[in-house]
Amino acid sequence: MSVENTPTVSLGPDSGLDQVFQLAQQLRVDSVRASTAAGSGHPTSSLSAADLMAVLMTRRLRYDWQNPKNPGNDHLIFSKGHASPLLYAMFLAAGAIDEEELMTTYRRNGARLQGHPTPVLPWVDAATGSLGQGIAYGVGIALAGRDLEHQPYRVWVLCGDSEMAEGSVWEALDKAGRHRLANFTAIIDVNRLGQSGPTELGWDTGAYARRAEAFGCRAIVVDGHDLTAVDEALAAASDGQAPTVVVAKTVKGQGVFEVADAEGWHGKPLPEDLAARAVTELGGLRHLTVRGPQPPAPAPRAPAAPVEVTLPHFEVGAAVATRVAFGKALAAIGARPDIVALDAEVGNSTHAEDFGKAHPERYFQTYIAEQQMIATAVGMAARGYRPYATTFAAFLTRAHDFIRMAAVSQISMSLCGTHCGVEIGADGPSQMGLEDLAMMRAIHGSTVLYPSDATSAAALTAAMAYMDGISYLRTTRGAYPVLYAPDETFPVGGSKTLRTGDSDRLTLIGAGVTLHECLAAAEQLAADNIPVRVIDLYSVKPLDLDTLARAAQETGALVVVEDHHPEGGIGEAVLSALAAQRLTPAVVHLAVRNLPASGTPAELLDTAGISRTHIARIARDLAIR
């Protein structure tokens, strides 16, 4: 399988389809060679889509491969990210990478040609591989191009047929249809076989087409190996008339007789001897290069003028919900033209709609489609915008995989989860965010913030706009007294000590509603001559290690109180931090350990054992030991 001395030929938009066929065969050969050399990969999934991609990159994909940041470039997303051998073979044909990188680094430790594509490669917008996500990112990028950037680029997404069983795919097509995203095309590689056997619909291309049309998209059914038909379909998809789904019937392993349409080859490289026979059957090595259509000149954009953000002020002692403060602060920082906001049809409760009223042109309603909301945010972040996506904390758990993959994409975006914990009251447990801190703390590189009053909520909302990675703000439904003056600062990684004295006998640690319960408990304890320290742990990740260590050393005992399940929340964060410092104070962790029901906030806090009464009782027990 060594490289032969074959002539180099350059293909362009005017090249004949006979030459495009030779490119398709080259893409197949290089997909086989790269995966066999790596000893892993998905060559058969790459072989089925090679004709589709050969036509696309020579005839329709308007892309300056030497300048991936050209704002006029089209966007190509491999939603079927496991077909990375094909994508990287395309990069080789475009001159973006060289032969040595493809054949010696693919899937190797520390290399950028990873098993599934990530934005460590400048030609990749977002990480894919968790199926059903790339198509959703494509919708976000298409929305950004049309409604925010006002650029004429198109978005092309290659999908696998197996992933069409994912609900997120249909959320994406629903939004493509609703927004009439004529700059968006999904190409479904219907090769009939999934990982463990036939797919749900097999080769029933009519079913795929009917489903796409039901969501408001135009469907075009083609033989995915008929280059003329593929070329005509992609030309139609480029006419700017409607969001398009090209349903292409293909053969998994196309071109290699021994594996074509054969079960048991998914995710398996061809052995050396079979790979050699495959290369011969496909016509041997080629060195075709591609210079496809160039992007149109980007629309001119005036440089953004400096803006001044004035955050809302709240009177100390006034009762204001942190979700209300979030909405007001979000509207204020919307003075920055790169800030966009996304809602999942709860903006009147989360107060994200405050942004929509102030900046309607940058407010996007995804309705009850939390996965698509996060995917749209990822797409917009990939285009240089700073998205804030907001819904009830409980419903963000639906989109956890999208948040996880956004971290793999190294996306920077801000999330806000409202209506946290049992404090929401009568709505009951289906609406109570009791797992969100654990979920968000586990995201790679995340920042997790939990303000207890309106002033800190506004300040932290603004701070998130400047953070790298994924930041999360947890807000409370009910209104509670404002604790801090408008000029108070809240550095990420910090905390606030609201009560302290030289004779403190223990420390109460809370955030959100439980901070207010801790303060009320401290008043009760003071009446019993038990002085205690109270810490507002508004930064959950990263934690204020210095303040925690000092409290542990000076008071000897900590009571951590949170409106969250005990697993993965504030208590475990504090215990981990103390363990890292080799500190062993007495620690009592109060959290929601029961299955909540409906009731008033006060009743539910008490039933969960995190009310001021329970805190004071535990503190008394600790103080007399």
Catalytic site residues?
A: 370
10-14 long-range Cβ contacts below 8 angstroms, 24+ apart? 10/288, 10/289, 10/290, 10/291, 11/58, 11/288, 11/289, 11/290, 11/291, 11/292, 12/58, 12/290, 12/291, 12/292, 13/58, 13/59, 13/292, 13/293
What stretch of H or E contains 473? strand 470-474
| Distance of alpha carbon 469 from alpha carbon 51, whole angstroms | 37
Query: What count of other Cβ atoms lies within 10 Å of the Cβ of residue 537?
Result: 26
Helices 272-281 and 17-38: crossing angle, nearest 10°? Answer: 170
Q: Is 203 helix (H, G, I), strand (E, B) or coil?
A: coil
Q: Residue 603 is encoded by which pair of tokens?
A: 């009743």
Q: Residue 333 is encoded by which pair of tokens?
A: 């920082």
The residue type found at 617 is R
Angle at 278 between CA 45 and CA 129, to 5 degrees: 20
> Which position has the token pair 């979920």?
439
8 Å CB contact between 147 and 386:
no
8 Å CB contact between 417 and 472:
yes
Q: Residue 7 is encoded by which pair of tokens?
A: 């002539």
Alpha helix segments (H runs only) across 95-252: 99-105, 134-143, 167-178, 205-214, 227-237
Q: Residue 419 is encoded by which pair of tokens?
A: 């209506």
8 Å CB contact between 154 and 236:
no
210-214 long-range Cβ contacts below 8 angstroms, 24+ apart? 211/170, 211/173, 212/173, 212/186, 212/245, 212/247
| Distance of alpha carbon 108 from alpha carbon 38, whole angstroms | 7
